[in-house]
Structure 1
Amino acid sequence: MMGKMREYTKGILYFLIVAFVALMVVEWGADYSGWSQRRQFVVGKVNGEEIDLELFNQAFRNARFSEEQRSGKNLTEEQLNSLRNQVWEQLVQRILLKKEIEKLNIQVTSEDVANYVRNGLYQQYQDNPNFQSDGKFDPKKVDEALADEANRQILLTMEAQAREELPYVKLQSLIYTSLFVTEQEIRDEFKQQNLKAKIEYLTVPLAAFADRKPETGEEEIRKYYEKNKEDFKNLEMRQLNYVYFSIVPTAADSAKIYHRAEEIKAQALAGKDFNALADAESEDPSAASNHGDLGYFERKDMVAEFSEAAFAAQPGEIVGPVKTNFGLHVIKVADKKTEDGVEKVRASHVLLKFEASANTLDEAQRQSGLFAETAREEGFAVAADQLKVEIKQTTEFANNKIGQIPGIGKIESALMWAFGSEKEAISDVYYTPQGYYIFQVANIKPEGYKPFEEVKEICQNRIDLEKRKAMAREYAEKFAGRVKAGENFQAIAQSDPDRILQADTTDYFGMNIFVPRIGRAPAITASAFNLPLNQPSGVLETERGCYFIKVKDRNQFDEEAFSSQREAIRNRLLQQKSRTVFTQWYEKLKEQAEIEDNRYRFFRG
């Protein structure tokens, strides 16, 4: 029993809690105690609470190790950038939630902890035969296991983790207090997923009027512009000058890495234990646990360059260095075999990544710092001239939530600086994995409306489109009487002297997908699932033209199937609502918070 209890411990605590809390506590492994002792390097602040460099880097290393262990691959630079941002967001979120718990004075009692652990175990062991009597779950057996002194340490561990989690569970419960799903919502969702219809249609395509030029005067266009002026609003825009000091590996850096790889290969060929070399030299995170041994793999499991070298070698052969997008590999092939007609190789490797040397990094940092200092004292252009660096310029851009600067990428803190600074202001040095940037505000275009002359053609095209839609509707109305009388759609289309009308029948389609051969047409979809069979509709307007429809076939609402799916649908809708409610609540909480992000000042990943 003790062994079974230990085996199932890992997943028990999280059965009630949403993933964001479990991820922050378990995956990042963040220690939030004793921050006041680690203030020398402050990465950021959240409502006055500091996130120091040690904490941030530890959380990032934990996350990176977990992700690379999960995928079995080294993360690309883009993935590492994304992961850094995820870690930052998780740390910010954790602090904000912790402060909200303190603000609401959420308390956890010993009884809360005991019930939480016990209920979690009950749910976890429902189908475990070790906790059943006469084929049914027996909660007494769980209680007996909890009372067993042999399981005491396991229980204490679970209780400690539960005590950490429960405040967040209680906060979550408060957020979701008024959350519910109505019976009608469940039925509507079932319909969306299960009902299908097939329709016959008669259409007046808008394209038939494409060559007709409506008469639209200057005054009419100007009135449209004034009425719809908000459509032509310009956001505040910025344009930046910038200089860039690269920290990508130089040719000399790459040559040193190649030289080191050749040295490692020579040591392996001389008889040095390959696993020991991997332990000492490999920059593959998995080497810490597998000593460089990749196990058996197929050709498709590895990047092409690696597979080509490994499968061409013989058992015992050492090959390389092999260059891939991960770096340089020295490979030792241990064995080859064929399973179910598939060739496999077992190999170990030592990975050396292409990274800039300390000298390259230091020189880029020194040069960028010197430029920033000179630029503030003597001007941006003067500094560029003295240090012989090129001044580049972005296109105009608006503020955006993702922190994107055109031509450069995502630097959220630099974007915030740009929209909080005056023209010709000079920034601090911003670090990215590609290098150091210093910016100057080159131009500011204030918020306002685009002038009439600039959007006149757009306004005219919109007016003309509405007039063509009116033409299509007017043309369709000429046939409305015949449609209402039940006349055959094909016959009506064939009798059209202008050959504009078209008739056809769709395949079956659902409520939440495009209508075949028509596209997205909410009015048609709504009619298809509400009209009686074979009863013609009135004129239905879409972006592609005007339609009459008749429902040829539609399956009925299946009460028995609905009953069997009802609870699953309810739970799914509840989860969707929960995610939406939490996201909205958290975004509001975050907007009201004072968040200072200083990662760019010293973070090198």
Structure 2
Amino acid sequence: MMQFIRSNVGKALVFLIIPAFILWMVLEIGMEVMGGAGARAGALGSVNGSAITVQAYNDAYNAMMQQAQQQGTEITPETERAIREQAWDQLVAEILLRQELSRRRIRVTDQEILWAARNLPQPDLAQQEIFLTNGQFDLQKYRAFLGSARATPEIFAQLEQYYRESLPRQKLINQLSAGRFLSDAELWRAFQDRSETVTVDYVALPLEKLAPTAPTVTQAEIRRYYDEHRDDFDRPQGARLKVAYLPLTITEADRAGTIRQAQELRQELAGGADFAEVARRESDDTGSAQQGGDLGTFGRGQMVPSFDSAAFALPVNEISQPVVSQFGVHLIQVQERTGEQVKARHILLSFEKDPQEVDRLEKQLEAVAANAERLGLRRASQGVQGITFRDSVELTSETAFLPGVGPAQEALNWAQQAQVDIAAGDGSNVSEVLESPQALYLVQLDEYYGAGKMTLAQATPRIRDRLIRDKRIEAAMGAANKILGQVRGGQSLEQVAQANGLAVQRTGPFSRVMGNPVFGQANAAIGVAFGTPVGQVGPVARTEAGLFLIRPYERTEADRAQFDAQKAAQRQQSAQAMQQELFMQWLRNARENAEIKDNREKLLNQSAAA
């Protein structure tokens, strides 16, 4: 949860020279990645003639698997496949990087390593308690350690290896980002995108109702689309599904109930209860809850605005009143404050639907699931109040996300198992009721597929569904604008929705960059939500999730004074983000232009045959 509580900028990195993407050093792959010529016997593959050895691949895979297990990740067959692909991609990237460093003749001297070791500590060392003073890294303590007997030859050897690997990478990044500068206007806009939020009322406009006649699609149109979008059909593992869902829309009554719960916990703490124990028991921030709610030390602007304001105004050791953010309700205790840094802990209560209402919705979906066994999910969903049906939804291992539902790895896991059960003659193509933080939902399996390039025949059902949807949206836009015209004519959004058999729902708060479980991210709906005055209905928003009428309910504005106070830190963090993006862009380009041979499947088949 910590990555969501903190703003999108994330934690402030202490030193620019240590980019966040150097996972390779943690896994200690080193030069074992390259085993010589690409034709070397037993090599899993090669990159521009440099072999990837079986040993290096196994080391990377095992390290990633161990890390996933330590983090409590459920190890499913899908997880294992994803980790294997990640291990392969990492080894390819390591070789490309080494080749580029060689091509550019980027080296480091012993003097540069000595200077970095004294002045730029490895990030994990910088967080060690023995090097902190009032919660902040103390360079003098670190240098004293390097000069003491506790700094063994083994430690110096590890530090030398670290800097010999990281410093050339930083030199490459510096070359890639040379001449790039972020203006104050760009920083302000980025700050607004992160910190400004909006809560909206909306009406989802069902395409089947607005354009009931299914458009026709010719084979020529399908062929043309396939030829023009060939890259779109290089797919990861995934499934094509029908989806029916009931949103778990948080009402004002639900929000008030969560605030009351937070107030009760605050009274418990005021009565002498141990904060850490209550956090472990009650907090929905699973990451910090295990540490008794501890958030560590952070500076201004690293948390979302409401949390940030409360943390820097709260007296030390006092328990805050309930603080509302887009993540729920927080109880905050500041343990230390030094200048612009705060050490704090918190308890987070997420906004949740009333349990009795959730039970009612679940029973409603169970009845739909029973009918779907005979009728199919589309027909079983028709006429059911509040339910939204979506056809031909793609769900992949890379983007396990469903519009209106949110994270949907559970659905992908079910689809994978359903395929096996159906093939064995003992399964259903309709799921049980599944749940995400945003919705209760059902899925019907149309197809589960492996990774690879789709042929035209394989892609045809998806292309046909896509073209039908695009044409249907075009046809529905006329009817949607007529409904909007009723609002423009003086009727309220509620009146218009009721007259058309629809419902007004509420979602948010959300920022421009965090996306929304109903609308998605970076699309017309987000633009309408932020571009329309509060209380007014904007133009029809066309998104991948469908058509919407949107009326902003509440909006928070960015604090210019807060931005000015942390502009220097923002510039440093934004520069780091820009450097990382430039590096990733270079890596994508290098990979596209490289000659990469992947023999994994061939070797696995030979092993299976043997």
TM-score range, shorter chain: 0.3 to 0.5
State the structure with more CA Rg.
1
TM-score w.r.t. length of structure 2: 0.45
TM-score w.r.t. length of structure 1: 0.45
